[in-house]
Amino acid sequence: KKGADKAGRAMDGFQTYALVNLLMLEKGETLKSERVIAECGSAIMANVHYLVDFVKETGSEPPDYVKPIWDEYMDFHMSRDEATRHQKLHESHYSFLDPEEARFITPEIIRNFCIAGHPEEIVEQLRGLEKQGLDAVTFSLPLDKMYRTIEDFSRKVISKM
């Protein structure tokens, strides 16, 4: 809105979409389960890796949502061999969770980086985002779970909206 106002443009017909990580919990499951960490970990860490480069290149502070792990993650990152540090930082994106990085996937970080929860909690989160002006979401899903997740999402979330 601020950008449109500054440019003298109307927002008529403008839609806002977001690419998000989705993590739908199964009945009785928590954000600490091995399945959860494995399923969303590589996507979350790809975002953390981007922020490492962003902070390094811009000199800005890391955003609040990553601060719970930032200092410990940076200590870990800087302890890697300097010659291969950058490659190690980016090798796992959206494909696997580096076992050495799994400890950074905490329930707080999952909530900060994902639309996550049981189906009814996801419905609430999406409705809240809609009230803030978000028109649609698209998900970044693990390839081996993509079709099952889409089916589950349509049955357990979309049908309740």
Q: Is 22 in contact with 125 (CB distance < 8 Å)?
A: no
> Per-residue pLDDT tens for 55-86?
999 999 999 999 999 999 999 999 999 999 99
Q: What is the pTM of this model?
A: 0.86
- Spatial distance between the Cα atoms of 59 and 123, rounded to a whole number of angstroms: 37
DSSP 8-state code for residue 158 = G
> Per-residue pLDDT tens for 136-158?
999 887 777 889 989 999 999 99
Contacting residues for 155 by C-beta, under 8 A, at least 6 apart: none
Q: Is 20 in contact with 115 (CB distance < 8 Å)?
A: yes
